[in-house]
Amino acid sequence: MSGKQAGIFRIIKFFTRMKRIYSSKLTLALSLLLFIFSVGVLGYKILSDYSWVDAFYMTVITITTVGYGTVRDLSPSEKLFTSLLIISSIFIVGYAISVITEYLLSKNNIGNFKRKKVQQKIDSLKDHIIVCGFGRNGKQAVHKLEAYNKEYVVIETNEDIISREQKDGKLFIEGNAVEDEILLQAGLKKASTLICALPSDADNLFVVLSARQLNSDLKIISRATEETSFQKLKLAGANNVILPDKIGGDHMANLVVTPDLVEFLDNLSVSGQADSINVEQVPFEKVCPQGKEQAIASLDIRRKTGCSIIGYKAPNGDYLVNPEPSLVIEKDSKLILIGRPEQIESLKNIYNV
């Protein structure tokens, strides 16, 4: 490569680097302001031998064209420099003011920046849970997911709720879950589960239909207000449909009929309390990492962790309560265990649940 070609290459490389640096109009505007200000200060310092304070003063009154008097009478060279500085600063300051004004007046720059950061986090998630609606049921679902350290995204229309709850690090998408675009923003195609907790059965039905079309492998859990909506949501593609009002009524009645049993069962779902009982499910591949089917007795889980096996979910979805020790667990099955929190923690550590 000749010297001329090398010089051209260096110039192209320099401008390419400068273009990359000044890709932002705001950065360019501020940089030009700093440049013209530095030229003015250094020019007056060198040409007129001003002190730094006087050079700064002359530059300010020249660039801003405020019309104050000069430090002293200007020589011809100083007048020429000042004229060029004024002409240059008119264009640069005008451009900078327009860019800065546009930036300050643009809609919710800080909010847009926050939303971009949240979206980046959501885009990095996989096998997470999407919760539609942050009302009473949605909030309870989120609290439970947090207790089990599950990653989730909440879709909510109320901006006040989002601004208040996002301070705790929750991932929110502002919008209506009935829109496919919003579901996709929440990472529907990479999610494992969708919880529809919207107050309207019609909205939940629409979300279930849309979600099932967008992700056929998605597990969908929906709430319903009316019993007539139960079958419709099932037909739309929901794996599970919950009737909170019915559950609440049954629960209150059970507290009258079998209060001690209900209180005991309630404790099974409590996490993190020293005197509580807890439950956990463990998939086949965790208890049999080598893929070999074994009998429950040979696993010896009780001795290793202190937890007791109270249930077995077969590959076909059937449940067996209190399985026999001789039962051979099959691939794609799950064990349901009960134990105190410290025993459950031991279970999680040993089997990497």
Q: In this predicted model, what pLDDT tens digit does every residue of 288-337 receive, in sequence order?
A: 988 899 999 999 999 999 999 999 999 998 999 999 999 999 999 999 99
Numbered ranges of CATH 3.30.70.1450 in the chain: 271-351
Q: Which CATH class is domain 110-248?
A: alpha beta
Q: In this predicted model, what pLDDT tens digit does every residue of 55-105 receive, in sequence order?
A: 888 888 888 777 677 777 777 887 788 888 888 888 888 888 887 777 766
pTM for this predicted structure? 0.60
Confidence band, pLDDT 50/70/90 cuts, at residue 276: low
pLDDT at 93: 83
pLDDT at 216: 93
Q: In this predicted model, what pLDDT tens digit does every residue of 14-50 receive, in sequence order?
A: 545 544 444 467 788 888 888 888 888 888 888 878 8
Distance of CA 125 to the CA centre of its chain: 8
pLDDT at 260: 85
Which of 104-108, 135-139, 325-329 shows the lowest per-residue confidence on average (mean pLDDT)?
104-108
Numbered ranges of CATH 1.10.287.70 in the chain: 15-105
Q: In this predicted model, what pLDDT tens digit does every residue of 176-235 receive, in sequence order?
A: 999 999 999 999 999 999 999 999 999 999 999 999 999 999 999 999 999 899 999 999
pLDDT at 67: 66
For domain 271-351, the CATH superfamily is Regulator of K+ conductance, C-terminal domain (3.30.70.1450)
Numbered ranges of CATH 3.40.50.720 in the chain: 110-248
% of the chain surpassing 90 pLDDT: 43
- Section 258-284 average pLDDT: 73
Q: In this predicted model, what pLDDT tens digit does every residue of 143-156 receive, in sequence order?
A: 989 888 899 999 99
Choosing among 1.10.150.120, 1.10.287.70, 1.10.10.10, 3.40.190.10, the CATH entry for 15-105 is: 1.10.287.70
Tell me: pLDDT of 274 over 60.
no
